[in-house]
Amino acid sequence: MQLTNKTPARPRLLDVLCLMAFATAAQAETLDFAQAVQRALAQNPDIIVAGAQIDQAQAAVKQSKGARLPKLTASVNVTRTNDALNAFGLKLSQRTATFNDFGAGEFNPANPNVLNVAPYNLNHPDPVNNFNARLEAQLPLYTGGMIEGYNEQAQAYLRAARQGDVLARQKVIFDVLRAYEGVHAARAYEDVAKQGRSAAESFVKTVDNLFRGGVVVKSDLLSAKVHLEDVKVQQAQGENAVQQALDQLHLLLGMPLSEPLDVAGDVEVRPLQGKLADYQAEALKSNPGLAALRNQLDAAQAAVKVARAGKYPQAGLLARFDTNDNTVGFDAHSYTLGGQVSWQLFDGGVTNGAVQRAQASRDELAAKLSQAENGITYQVAEAWRRADEAQRRVAARELAVSQAEEAQRIVEKRYASGVTTITELLGAQAQLDKTRADLVAARYELKVQRANARLAVGRLQPDQL
């Protein structure tokens, strides 16, 4: 009875496991390429960094614009002092100074040395308390180009940051494309391995039947079985490659590896139509990396302007309103209006050194820009040539697969007729498997190189593929 009760439990357990596996597969999120790109752009660290740099540059622009406006400052100061000069000055500010503060009681006209008497109250005043409330406005009129230079520098850095964001986004799109298509390529490899296993299993059956009929020797059967085991290993490698490709896509999308993920249809990357020279010229104008460098060069030129401002006069206006009281209050109102022009005539070469350093930094960026322009021109040409080679390779591999399939069919018939050996049969099948795998690699490489060419030109967007 116990055996009878336990026997049906096994199928039920297997059914539960199958249902769990099916449920897990059904819950896997399937993303098409556009969705994968959108998710990667939303949480990729490089994009977050680029966004933060744009925010910094926008804040710098706001800061530079604010430097043109008046500065309004409110302050409250509390002072207690018995310093003779400050105490007397505070009394004057409070409008409370008296003749006695000058030592008038010690003035004796009858004393012939009266002018030499040091008034005690004036030289040794009692401590004075002062509560000062101040409202002050300052307006720069001319800064030798410093404010304008800072504004130009901030605007250039903002443009550079925005181009850097474009570049970062296109690089993420390129990485997602490689990972996304890597999944499809890995699955194509897996299909090749499955086809090879199916053929190897068929060979084992065929050779086994021939061996049983005394047509072939046992070594042929063993060779066929060894080949089958090798193909099983290749199939396991293909399955692992699929999982590795999905893991790489997980990382790019910022998803936990434990979260189920799948990809939708593959991406068709169209080739760039036209002449290579035209796209090289377009890359020099449109590549976001070059555009960012050019804007950085503009910022460096603005830094030279800022440094040179120290050679010119500075002019500004001031308006101030004060209240002074010996207790907490707002008595004794006063105002001050003024203007100032200053010109530093000699600073020991500090300004000249700053200008030279800014110019050297600008020259360094100019050299980097020239080098980058040559690099982009080469990168476009290299990707263009590699894409052309990959396209030719795909055509050659497709022809090779057709030839290998026909060759394998002929060798299989010859072996069944006893005309050739098992070695030739297995060799033909191995060659067929290799040409199929080579075709998969060529198709993947073609998409990558076409995308690489678009990246170099600055045209890599999901809707431009």
* Reported confidence tier of residue 27, pLDDT bands at 50, 70, 90: low
* Sequence-ordered list of residues with C-beta below 8 angstroms from that of 286, at least 6 positions apart, any chain: 457, 458, 459
| Residue 88 sits in the same domain as residue 205 | no
151, 41: one domain: yes
Confirm whether 8 is domain-assigned: no
3 state DSSP class of 322: strand
pLDDT at 5 over 60: no
Confidence of residue 223 (pLDDT cuts 50, 70, 90): confident
Residue range 376-403: mean pLDDT, rounded: 94
Other CB atoms within 10 A of residue 400 CB: 19
Extended strands (E) in 108-215: 128-142
- Contact assessment for residue 80 and residue 127, using Cβ atoms and an 8 Å cutoff: yes
Q: How many CB atoms lie within 10 A of CB 275?
A: 10
Q: Are residues 117 and 156 in the same domain?
A: no
Give tens-digit pLDDT for 233-242. Answer: 988 988 898 8
With respect to residue 225, please indicate whether it lies within any of the assigned structural domains. Answer: yes
- Exposure of 427 in the CB half-sphere (CA atoms within 13 A): 7
416/410 Cα distance (integer angstroms): 10
pLDDT above 90 (res 330): no
Query: Same domain for 304 and 450?
Result: yes
Under 8 Å between Cβ of 448 and 178: yes
Do 273 and 238 have their domain in common? yes
Helix 276-286 to helix 350-416 angle (10° resolution) is: 140
Q: 367 in a domain, yes or no?
A: yes
pLDDT greater than 60 at residue 7: no
Are 96 and 194 members of one domain? Answer: no
Closest CA to 56 of 164, 213, 142, 208: 164
Residue 161 token pair: 């940051």
- CB atoms inside a 10 Å sphere around CB 27: 9
Within 266-328, residue ranges assigned H as helices are 276-286, 288-308
Residue 292 and residue 296: Cα distance in Å, rounded? 6
Residues 6+ apart with CB under 8 A from 74: 133, 134, 135, 136
How far apart are alpha carbons 289 and 8 in whole angstroms?
A: 67
Token duo for residue 74: 């409110």
Residue 249 lies in a domain: yes
Inside any domain, residue 320: no
Cβ(353)–Cβ(295) below 8 Å: no
N-terminal to C-terminal alpha carbon distance within the chain: 67
Place of tokens 């100032």: 340
Q: Does residue 14 belong to any structural domain of this protein? A: no
Residue by residue, what is the 3-state secondary structure of 317-366? EEEEEEEEECCCCCCCEEEEEEEEEECCCCCCCHHHHHHHHHHHHHHHHH
90 & 239 share domain: no
Number of domains in the chain: 2
Residue 76 resides in a domain: no
**Same domain assignment for residues 87 and 218:** no
Query: Which residue segment(s) compose the domain that 200 sits in?
Result: 30-67+146-311+349-464
Least confident of 59-68, 166-175, 226-235, 375-384: 226-235
Residue 3: pLDDT band (50, 70, 90) is very low
Residues in the chain: 465
CA–CA gap between residue 333 and residue 330 (Å, rounded):
7
Q: How confident is the model at residue 55 (pLDDT cuts 50, 70, 90)?
A: very high
Residue 114 domain-assigned? yes
Specify whether 446 is located in the same domain as 390: yes
Q: Which residue in 81, 77, 78, 93 sits closest to 127, CA to CA?
A: 81
For 245, residues 6+ apart whose C-beta sits below 8 A from its C-beta are 179, 182, 183, 185, 186
Provide the pLDDT for residue 331.
Answer: 84
Question: Are the C-beta atoms of 40 and 253 separated by less than 8 Å?
Answer: yes
Residues 112 and 232 in one domain: no
Based on the fold, state whether residues 164 and 242 are members of the same structural domain.
yes
CATH number at residue 453: 1.20.1600.10
Same domain? 53 vs 188: yes
**Residues of the chain above pLDDT 90, percent:** 61
